[in-house]
Copies of this chain bind each other. A is one copy, B any other.
Amino acid sequence: MRRTVLVVDDNEKIVEVLAAYLEAAGYEVVTAHDGEAAIEAVRARRPDIALLDIMLPGVDGIELTRRFQRDYDLPVILVTAKTEEIDRLIGLEVGADDYVSKPFSPREVVARVKAVLRRVDRSSATSAGETIVVGDLVVDTARREVTVAGEKVELTRTEFEILATMAAHPGRVYSRLQLLEAVSGDAFEGYERTIDAHVKNIRKKIGDDPKEPRYIRTVFGVGYKVEAPS
């Protein structure tokens, strides 16, 4: 499963650089620039780890660390400007999982994130499931089988590929081009609207009404996404 990292710093450039490196390393990234936004971000997106600057407008990094540890059991890496601050912090034992002091190389930070996540993974048993469940919809990528409310549904290869791609990240929007690419290797030939036809067929088979979709939602002007009905 794809991991989400929350990056909090009031310096726009730092956030930008770290976000880019973390994304390149395959992480989903959420950013915030002050304490309040960070709290909101955790509430909304439930990241797997947080990277906090200590000096922040509003609620500072130390207070955030306490709160995240207490309320969400969220691993935290603290970023600090001065080395002397670290000594103070270690004395305080705020409960951060690691510390990084500025200036740091982005690579170093990515390495720390990986290390902390690995450590956390090991303590709580990993469950690598190749089966995706969204509401009544079950997509088994190993068996290439799809069931709706326990009822098995026969999909063609292309149909399955499209559905599985979207189901892999429920809520995430996929453009027609992305879906075409997922289906046909990366051949950029083909009519984008072809996807419409396949979606229509998938919807028919899994019993989905475009007006009131239970699974495949149309995102006007953009593409489609799979999502459990709210």
Residues of B within 8 A of A24 (CB): 118-119, 122
Interface of A, secondary structure class, is mixed
Nearest residue in B to A39 (C-beta to C-beta)?
Answer: B133
Chain B nearest CB: distance from A37 CB in Å? 4
Interface string of A182-207 (1 = CB under 8 A from B): 00000000000000000000000000
Complex Cα gap A158–B170 (Å) = 23
Contact B138 A28, beta carbon cutoff 8 Å: no
**What number of copies of this chain does the assembly contain?**
2
Residues of B within 8 A of A210 (CB): none
Residues of B within 8 A of A142 (CB): 28, 169, 171-173
Please judge, given known A-B contacts A83-B87, A93-B11, whether A36 and B135 are in contact too, CB under 8 Å: yes
Partner among B81, B83, B103, B228 whose Cβ is within 8 Å of the Cβ of A99:
B103
Residues of B within 8 A of A220 (CB): 156-157
Most chain B CB within a 10 A radius of its CB, from A45, A89, A220: A45
Partner among B34, B131, B136 whose Cβ is within 8 Å of the Cβ of A228:
B34
Nearest residue in B to A95 (C-beta to C-beta)?
Answer: B13
Contact B169 A37, beta carbon cutoff 8 Å: no
Nearest residue in B to A89 (C-beta to C-beta)?
Answer: B103
7 smallest beta-carbon distances between A and B, as pairs: A91-B103, A157-B221, A30-B131, A32-B133, A41-B133, A37-B133, A91-B102
- New contact pairs (4) apart from A16-B123, A92-B106, A157-B222, CB-CB < 8 Å: A19-B130, A20-B122, A44-B150, A157-B221
Give me 30 A-to-B residue pairs in the complex whose CB atoms sit less than 8 angstroms apart, sorted by A's number: A12-B169, A13-B92, A13-B95, A17-B97, A19-B130, A20-B122, A23-B129, A23-B130, A24-B122, A28-B142, A29-B131, A30-B130, A31-B132, A31-B133, A34-B228, A36-B136, A40-B138, A44-B140, A44-B147, A81-B93, A90-B103, A91-B102, A91-B104, A92-B102, A96-B103, A97-B106, A99-B103, A143-B172, A156-B220, A157-B219
